[in-house]
Amino acid sequence: MVKGAHEVILGGVRDAQFGPLVLFGLGGIFVEVMGDIALRIAPLERDEALEMIRSLRGLPLLEGSRGQKAVDFEALATALVRVAALLAEHPQIVELDLNPVLVGGSRAACAVVDARVRIAR
């Protein structure tokens, strides 16, 4: 029902050696087909989140191609920082998968369409 939005994936996992890792990539089927993701140790600062976003090979899709609008990079960075903080502050979260997350153009909020959270017992 959301039009003009791009699908991305946000999430993370708790690694035994590194602790909480946050993930970002193109979402939906793109993550399965292309595997174009970025991983960083949580928590994140805004600049680190923007660097993650810009590190993707699929960045031109997010910047707007073939008449599509660019995504709101600030909204994406904010979402990444918040996901990283959630993982860092709640060690009981073993895995978090938000896919797809829809993000539109300027001043757009991110909308989580599907979420999966695995909690340690």
What letter would DSSP give residue 107?
T
| Domain contains 32 | yes
Instruction: Provide the residue range defining the domain that includes 89.
Output: 6-119
CATH code, domain with 28: 3.30.470.20
Q: Per-residue pLDDT for 109 more than 80?
A: no
Q: Per-residue pLDDT for 80 more than 70?
A: yes
Q: What's the start-to-end Cα distance of the chain, in Å? A: 36
Q: What is the pLDDT of residue 1?
A: 63
Q: Per-residue pLDDT for 78 more than 90?
A: yes
Number of domains in the chain: 1
Q: Per-residue pLDDT for 46 more than 80?
A: yes
pLDDT band at 32 (very low <50, low <70, confident <90, very high): confident
> For residue 105, how far is the Cα from the chain centroid?
16
| Domain contains 1 | no
The model's pTM is 0.91
As given in the structure block, the two tokens for residue 10 are 């946000």
